[in-house]
């Protein structure tokens, strides 16, 4: 699971807001806005991630659009490494490489700039939430396709009951897990 500070995990759980029937009936959306609005808590969360990942040989953070950027940017700053933007199709201005993936309701794709990573570069892949695992699996595949070495996936929240972790072929860590 995780090795984060229990107090930070508990405080985060208290601030996550459940929004029933969003974006469609039967879904309980985990709203991170209250967590991000709490400056001292957000600072503690980032400090926990930095503490967890420092001295692990990470050379860059790859963050998935768009909420992954909210965690990835301050984490990259805290670790003193660069940030690789993993964006939806057509959002990056330079030459890109892409990887498509299936969603419950269709298909999508992620892109990175073709020169965003170095061969063998050790990368931590970050997103806000792990649900079914499709987006993160595509992100890991895209980084490998580009020649990088993704070493772990990190999330603020994991919806364990959806089994997304089983689709990932590398270690993953979440601050808060709903089993």
Q: Which residues are catalytic?
A: 67, 104
At 92 the three-state DSSP class reads coil
Rg (the chain; Cα; Å):
16
* For helices 39-53 and 67-79, angle between their N-to-C axes, nearest 10 degrees: 60
Whole-angstrom distance, CA of residue 10 vs CA of residue 5? 9
For residue 105, what are the contacts with CB-CB under 8 A and spacing of at least 6? none
- Nearest Cα residue to 48 out of 88, 9, 18, 99: 9
Laid out side by side, the sheet with 82-88 consists of: 96-103, 106-113, 82-88, 60-64, 122-130, 149-159, 172-178
Three-point CA angle 124, 35, 44, nearest 5°: 60
Three-point CA angle 82, 86, 87, nearest 5°: 135
């Amino acid at each position: 699971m995780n090795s984060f500070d229990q107090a930070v995990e508990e405080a985060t759980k208290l601030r996550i807001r459940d929004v029933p029937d969003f974006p469609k009936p039967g879904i309980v959306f985990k709203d991170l806005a209250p967590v991000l609005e709490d400056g001292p808590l957000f600072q503690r969360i980032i400090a926990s991630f930095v503490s967890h990942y420092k001295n692990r040989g990470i050379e860059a953070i790859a963050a998935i659009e768009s909420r992954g950027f909210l965690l990835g940017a301050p984490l990259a700053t805290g670790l003193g490494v660069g940030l690789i933007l993993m964006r939806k199709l057509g959002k990056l201005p330079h030459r890109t490489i892409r990887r498509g993936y299936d969603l419950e309701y269709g298909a999508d794709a992620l892109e990175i700039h073709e020169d965003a990573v170095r061969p063998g570069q050790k990368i931590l892949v970050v997103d806000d939430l792990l649900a079914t695992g499709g987006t993160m699996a595509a992100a890991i595949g895209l980084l490998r396709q580009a020649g990088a070495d993704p070493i772990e996936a990190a999330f603020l929240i994991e919806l364990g009951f959806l089994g997304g972790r089983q689709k990932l072929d590398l270690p993953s860590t979440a601050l808060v897990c709903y089993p």
